[in-house]
Amino acid sequence: MKKTFEVLNIKCGGCAGTVKSKLKDRFPDIEVDLDSMPRKVSATIGSDEDEKYLLNTLKSLGYPEVNDDLGTIQSAMLKGKSFVSCAVGKLNKEKEN
């Protein structure tokens, strides 16, 4: 079943590229909507385990779900992680071109 999650800290194509590259093996149909605010990530989810994996991976990259209960320090740390993930996505995109 296709599910959509609203996530924080995704700003550009570099961020979207990182999300897609990290999750494409398990979720080949993953999509990142850069036209919505907050940003939306969609994928076909087959089980609760798939959903947990997707959300945990997003969070580990610095892109938590909008409704995650984050403290100030954790929120700041995740923003920092998202900057790194974004930069990696931009570098990978340049390598492909």
Cα end-to-end span (Å), the chain = 33
pLDDT band with cut points at 50, 70 and 90 for residue 83 = low
For the beta carbon of residue 35, count every other beta carbon within 10 angstroms: 6
- Taking the whole predicted model, whether its pTM rises above 0.75 is answered as yes
Query: Residue 95 pLDDT more than 70?
Result: no
Tell me the C-alpha distance between 43 and 23, whole Å.
10
Tens of pLDDT, residue by residue over 13-66, are 888 999 999 999 999 999 999 999 999 999 999 999 999 999 999 999 989 998
